Amino acid sequence: MPMRIGTTTFNDRIEKGINDEFMRDSVRSAQERLLGKRLDAAEELGSWEDWRNLGEEIRSHTLEYLDYYLYELSEKVKENGGHVYFAKTAEEANHYIQKVVKRKNGKKIIKSKSMVTEEISMNEALESIGCDVIESDLGEYILQVDDHDPPSHIVVPALHKNKSQIRDVFKEKLGYLNTDKPEELTLFAREKLRKEFLSADIGITGCNFAVAESGTITLVTNEGNARLATTLPKTQITVMGMERIVPTWEELDVMISLLSRSAVGQKLTTYVTALSGPKSPLEGDGPEEFHLVIVDNGRSNIIGTEFQEALHCIRCAACINVCPVYRHVGGHGYGSIYPGPIGAVISPLLGGYEEYGELPFASTLCAACTDACPVKIPLHELLNKHRKNIIEGRGLSAEKIAMRGFQYGTTLPILYQVGTKLAPFLSLPFQTNSFLTKGPGPLKAWTTIRDMPAPNNERFRDWFKKRQKEESFE
Amino acid sequence: MSEQIYNRESFLTSLAQNLGRSTPKTVERPTWKHQPQWQILKNASQDELVTVFKKQCETIHTDVIETESDQLADVIHERVKSYNGKSISAWKDERFHQYDIFSKTDATIHKWDPRMKDNVAQTESADIGITFCDLALAESGTIVLFSNENQGRSVSLLPTTYIALVPKSLIVPRMSQATRKIHLLMKEGEFPATCVNFISGPSNSADIEMNLVVGMHGPIRTTYVVISNL
C-alpha cells in the first residue's frame, strides 16, 4: 500500500479512532506494556543517557557522510557478488524489482516486514505483473488476509485488531476452524506460511541496518520470518531506505542494542541476521542471487535542511508508544503508514504539506517523544518547525505567529478536531478543577495571567465564538 | 545482468550536493565520545559469564544444561528422548564424532553435506536441529552462528526443536565483543560468513493482542548445552 492510507479526511479518521473503544483500549495497554518494558530495559542497562548520546553521535556522523558510506556499501556488495540499484524514486525502485522478478520468472514472492516497501507500494507493483506477494510477519499477514487492512503501528501492525476479529478473518478467508486462542491462531499461520516459504521463488526483505564496511544487511525479528525469507528462496531482494546504514560492525552493535531495547524492551531480539551477498557456491542454502535496492524517494531533500535529524530515526516506535495523541486516535488517525510523532515529522517531509500538513498539529508538544527517542531526535522541536513553516507559508510576520497560529488552529478543521475533540484528553495535565491554569503553547501566556475554561463541557469553537461575541459588547 | 551497480553516480552526486560538498575520498571514523558498551560485564570471569548467560535464558524460554564433553552423548540422548525426537539434522562438524555425541541416541541423523542436494528437505522433515555455536553472548543469552558449506542456515531454523552446543570458552560479555571480532576479521580480509545469525531462544510473536506466543516461524523449543571443559 502507498504511504497514504485511507481516503477519509483527518476529521473523520480521528472521529473514528476516538469512538473505537476496543482500539483505544488495546493501544493504551500496548503503550503501557511497551513503555514499561522499554524503561525496565533501559534501567537494567544503566547509563542509558550515555547510550543515547552514543546513538546520536553515530547517527549524526553517518548522515553527515551518507554518500561516502553508501559508496562503500555498494562496492562491498559488489565484491560479495551482489547487485545494487540506487533508486531515486518509488517508480524506479519498483521498476527494477519488477525487472528482476520477471527475469527470474518469479511468481510467488514471500516478504518479511518492511516499511519502505509499503512506502513505495511495491506489493501493488508486483501484483500488477501477476505475482502473488505474501507477507510473512504474523501481524502483516493478518492485515493482508483481511483485504489489506492498513497497519496501525510500525512494530505491532495489527494492534487495532482483537483475537476474535482475527479468528473471524482466518475463518472467512482461510477456512480456519479452531478457537480465538493466540496460540492456535499463531500455529495455524505458521503452518500456512511454512508451505509458502518452501515454495516461494523470491524473498523480499527490508533492512534494519546495512553495514558499509562489509556490504552486509541486517534483519531484526522475533518470529524468524526474515531468516526463512533469506534461507529458502533462490533469489533475495532487499529494499532499504538510504539512511539505514552504519559504518562498521561496531556501530551495528550499538544501533541494534538501542533498537531492541527501545522497540520491545528486549536485550536483543530473538534473531539478528546479518547477510553479506548471495551464498557461496558450495553452501546448501541461502540465496543464489542478491539484489540491494537503495531508496531515496524524497529522503535526500531532507539532507542539509533543518529536518536532517529526522533521518536519524531507527524505526523503534518508542516515540509512538509514549504519545498521548497516538493513544487517543490510534495509528489510522494519521492517514500515513508512519504514525505517531515520527510519522507526523516524516510524513510531511516525504509526502508534502499538502497531503500531511495537518499532522504536525496533532501533537501536544509535550516532548515525551523526544525524551523516549534512543537517538535523541528533537521530535517536538521538529514538529514545531513544521508548524512554523506552514504558518509562515501564509505570509505572516514573526511576532504574530504565535497568536495567528492560535487563530489558525481554531479555524482550520484539523485543529478544530484537536482543539475540541481531543482537548478533554489532552488538557488533563494542565487542568485544575474546570479551568486550564497552565496551558501549552500559545495558551501559556494567556493562562499565566488568567484562567481559561477547560473545554470539557463546551466545544472550543462554540466557546471561542461566544467569547468573541462577548468581547464585541465590551 | 552483468552490471552490478546501477545509477550510483547521479544518486550520490545529488546527495553530495545537498550535503554541500563533493563526496570525500576517505572518512575517518571518529572515536566515539561515549562508549558505555565496554563497561558491561567488564571484568567478569568465565564462570560469572556462564551465570549471567543461564539467568538470561530463563527470560527467553530456553533450557540450559551444563555438562562436560564426556557426558555429551548421555545429555543428547536424554534431551532427544524428552523431546520425543525421531530424527536429527546436524551440521557437518568433526566435534560430533570427536565427542561421540550421537553414540547413544536412537534418532536417525542427517549430517549437512555440501555434496548432497537434499539438505534442506532432510532438515525440514527432521524433528530436531543440532549445531555447535561459534560464539555466545552472556548478557542476552545469545548464540552466534557463522554459516558456511558445512554449517547450513536451515539446521537452527526449520525443525521445531533446536539444540545448541555452547563451549564455555566461547561465551563473551555481550554483542560488542562479537561484532568487534567480526570487524577485526574483516580488516584482515577474513570475513567469517555470508550469513551470521545471533539467536536468542525460540522464535516467538506478540502480534495478536500483545500476547507472547513462543514458537512462530522458527523453532518452538530451544535448549543450550553449555560444555564447561571446552
The 10s digit of each residue's pLDDT in A33-51 is 888 888 888 888 889 999 9
> Model confidence at B190, in pLDDT bands (50, 70, 90)?
confident
Identify whether the C-beta of residue A167 lies closer than 8 Å to the C-beta of residue A179.
Answer: yes
What is the distance between the alpha carbons of residues B202 and B51, in angstroms, rounded to a whole number? 20
**Are B198 and A268 an interchain contact pair (Cβ–Cβ within 8 Å)?**
yes
> Model confidence at A26, in pLDDT bands (50, 70, 90)?
confident
What is the model's pLDDT at position A470? 63
What is the model's pLDDT at position A453? 42
Measured between CB atoms, does B217 come within 8 Å of chain A? Answer: yes
pTM above 0.90, yes or no: no
Percent of chain A with pLDDT over 90: 70
Measured between CB atoms, does A149 come within 8 Å of chain B? Answer: no
At residue A342, does pLDDT exceed 70?
yes
**Which positions 434-473 of A are in contact with B (Cβ < 8 Å)?**
none
At residue A471, does pLDDT exceed 70?
no
Question: Does B34 reside within a domain?
Answer: no
What is the model's pLDDT at position A156? 87
Residues of A in contact with B61 (CB under 8 A): none
What is the model's pLDDT at position A154? 81
Measured between CB atoms, does A138 come within 8 Å of chain B? Answer: yes
Question: Does B28 reside within a domain?
Answer: no
What is the distance between the alpha carbons of residues A464 and A443, in angstroms, rounded to a whole number? 13
As a CATH number, domain A61-295 is: 3.40.50.10420
Please tell me the least confidently modeled range out of A185-189, A436-440, B154-158: A436-440
At residue A128, does pLDDT exceed 80?
yes
Task: Give the closest residue to A390 by CA, choosing from A422, A423, A356, A365.
Answer: A356
Task: Give the closest residue to A453 by CA, choosing from A435, A438, A466, A437.
Answer: A435
Helix H or strand E encompassing A132: strand A132-135
What is the model's pLDDT at position A395? 29
How far A464 CA lies from chain B's nearest CA (Å)? 41
Residue A135: beta bridge partners?
A111
Hunting for cell 552504519 — which residue is that? A246
Question: Does B183 reside within a domain?
Answer: yes
**Average pLDDT score over residue span A339-365:** 94
Please tell me the least confidently modeled range out of A183-197, A430-444, B104-118: A430-444
**Are B195 and A273 an interchain contact pair (Cβ–Cβ within 8 Å)?**
yes
In angstroms, the Cα distances linking B163 to A229, A327, B166 are 22, 41, 10
Task: Search chain A and give the residue with CA nearest B56.
Answer: A267
**Are A250 and B180 an interchain contact pair (Cβ–Cβ within 8 Å)?**
yes
**Average pLDDT score over residue span A131-156:** 93
How far A161 CA lies from chain B's nearest CA (Å)? 7
**Average pLDDT score over residue span A354-375:** 94
What is the model's pLDDT at position A439? 42
Reduced to 3 states (helix: H, G, I; strand: E, B; else coil), residue A345 is helix
**Average pLDDT score over residue span B136-144:** 98
pLDDT: which is higher, A469 or A356: A356
How far A257 CA lies from chain B's nearest CA (Å)? 8
What is the model's pLDDT at position B189? 87
Give tens-digit pLDDT for B20-79.
Answer: 999 999 999 999 999 999 999 999 999 999 999 999 999 999 999 999 999 999 999 999
At residue A148, does pLDDT exceed 60?
yes
Identify whether the C-beta of residue A112 lies closer than 8 Å to the C-beta of residue A205.
Answer: yes
C-beta neighbour count of B59 within 10 angstroms: 13
> Which of A285, A297, A306 should be substituted to probe chain B, the one whose Cβ sees the most B Cβ atoms within 10 Å?
A285
Of A53, A224, A257, the CB nearest to B216: A224
What is the model's pLDDT at position A442? 43
Question: Does B11 reside within a domain?
Answer: no
Of B11, B194, B199, the CB nearest to A277: B194
Ramachandran area for residue B119 (φ above 0: left; ψ -120 to 50: alpha; else beta):
alpha
Give tens-digit pLDDT for A211-253.
Answer: 999 999 999 999 999 999 999 999 999 999 999 999 999 999 9
Question: Does B146 reside within a domain?
Answer: yes
**Average pLDDT score over residue span B192-211:** 94
How far B71 CA lies from chain A's nearest CA (Å)? 29
> Model confidence at A472, in pLDDT bands (50, 70, 90)?
low
Task: Search chain B and give the residue with CA nearest A70.
Answer: B12
CATH of the domain at B83: 3.40.50.10420
**Are B217 and A225 an interchain contact pair (Cβ–Cβ within 8 Å)?**
yes
> Which of B131, B140, B217, B224 should be substituted to probe chain A, the one whose Cβ sees the most A Cβ atoms within 10 Å?
B217
> Model confidence at A334, in pLDDT bands (50, 70, 90)?
very high
Question: Does B201 reside within a domain?
Answer: yes
Burial A448-461 (b: 16+ CB within 10 A, else e): eeebbebbeeeebe
Percent of chain A with pLDDT over 70: 83
**Are B33 and A53 an interchain contact pair (Cβ–Cβ within 8 Å)?**
yes
Helix H or strand E encompassing B227: strand B221-227
**Are A224 and B200 an interchain contact pair (Cβ–Cβ within 8 Å)?**
no
At residue B153, does pLDDT exceed 50?
yes
**Average pLDDT score over residue span A160-167:** 93
Give tens-digit pLDDT for A455-465.
Answer: 444 445 555 66
**Which positions 226-265 of A are in contact with B (Cβ < 8 Å)?**
227-228, 230-232, 242, 247-250, 252-254, 256-257, 264
At residue A161, does pLDDT exceed 80?
yes
Give tens-digit pLDDT for B30-40.
Answer: 999 999 999 99
Give tens-digit pLDDT for A61-97.
Answer: 999 999 999 999 999 999 999 999 999 999 999 999 9
What is the distance between the alpha carbons of residues B137 and A369, in angstroms, rounded to a whole number? 31
Average pLDDT, chain A: 86
Based on the structure, what is the number of domains in chain B? 1
**Average pLDDT score over residue span A378-407:** 66
**Which positions 17-36 of A are in contact with B (Cβ < 8 Å)?**
26, 29-30, 33
Known binder of ligand: residue A131? no
Helix H or strand E encompassing A199: helix A182-199
What is the model's pLDDT at position A1? 64
Residues of A in contact with B210 (CB under 8 A): 26, 29-30, 33, 156, 159
At residue A445, does pLDDT exceed 80?
no
> Model confidence at A29, in pLDDT bands (50, 70, 90)?
confident
Measured between CB atoms, does A225 come within 8 Å of chain B? Answer: yes
Range of the domain at B213: 41-227
> Model confidence at A5, in pLDDT bands (50, 70, 90)?
confident
Please tell me the least confidently modeled range out of A12-26, A259-273, A278-292: A12-26
What is the model's pLDDT at position A464? 60
**Average pLDDT score over residue span B137-145:** 98
